[in-house]
């Protein structure tokens, strides 16, 4: 599992690092066999950053889920980039969080990733046995 993050001022990066997996900035990603969890941010009235869009155009098939940073002051556009990613790229939005997130946000996402990868490991194991 690799966490790919898109961060300008560092908040999203901090959240990504707190998840406890290897992390890499979206612009420095080089393809590996690892599944990816994406942590990105909302900009300009709920838009997806261009850097995230470029990454998704190339690698969306490797991304198992995403979490998105935002600020509730943006009202209905809070975390809206995550909703757009879910709708356009069919990648589950696991969590919207403010800034670099609360500890509970980090734990929620970490547990989601662990559960998801555990189930998939089991499925691979079952397929190998039958
Ligand atoms: C110009 C600008 C536009 C933003 N637009 C939104 C927005 O539409 N919705 C939202 O939830 N947050 C918005 N934000 C807040 C950022 O998503 C938030 O501060 C995020 O934590 C920044 O991540 P970073 O520190 O990793 O760059 C905006 C911030 C800036 C500076």
- pLDDT for the residue 118: 83
Indicate whether residue 45 lines ligand 1 (CB < 6 A): yes
Query: Domains in the chain, please, with CATH?
Result: 2-129 (3.40.50.360)
- Atom 6, ligand 1: which residue's CA is nearest? 43
- pLDDT tens per residue across span 4-19: 999 999 999 999 999 9
- State mean pLDDT over 65-77: 97
| pLDDT band at residue 68 using 50, 70 and 90 as cut-offs | very high
Band of pLDDT at residue 129, cut at 50, 70 and 90: low
119 against 102, higher pLDDT = 102
Task: State residue 27's pLDDT score.
Answer: 97
Residues 68/41, Cβ–Cβ less than 8 Å: yes
Nearest ligand 1 atom to alpha carbon 8: 27
- Decide whether any atom of ligand 1 lies within 6 Å of the 87 Cβ: no
Contact 5, 40 (CB under 8 A): yes
Please give the torsion angle defined by the CA atoms of residues 32, 50, 15 and 73, in that order, rounded to the nearest 10 degrees.
Answer: -160
């Amino acid at each position: 599992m690799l966490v790919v993050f898109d961060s300008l001022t560092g908040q999203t990066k901090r959240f990504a690092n707190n998840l406890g997996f290897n992390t890499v900035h979206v612009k420095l990603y080089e393809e590996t066999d690892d599944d990816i969890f994406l942590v990105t941010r909302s900009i300009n009235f709920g838009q997806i950053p261009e850097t995230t869009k470029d990454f998704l155009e190339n690698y969306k098939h490797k991304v198992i889920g995403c979490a998105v940073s935002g600020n509730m002051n943006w009202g209905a556009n809070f975390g809206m980039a995550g909703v757009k990613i879910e709708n356009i790229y069919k990648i589950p939005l696991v969590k919207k969080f403010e800034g670099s997130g609360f500890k509970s946000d980090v734990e929620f996402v970490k547990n989601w990733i662990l559960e998801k990868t555990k189930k998939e490991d089991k499925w691979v194991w079952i397929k190998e046995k039958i």
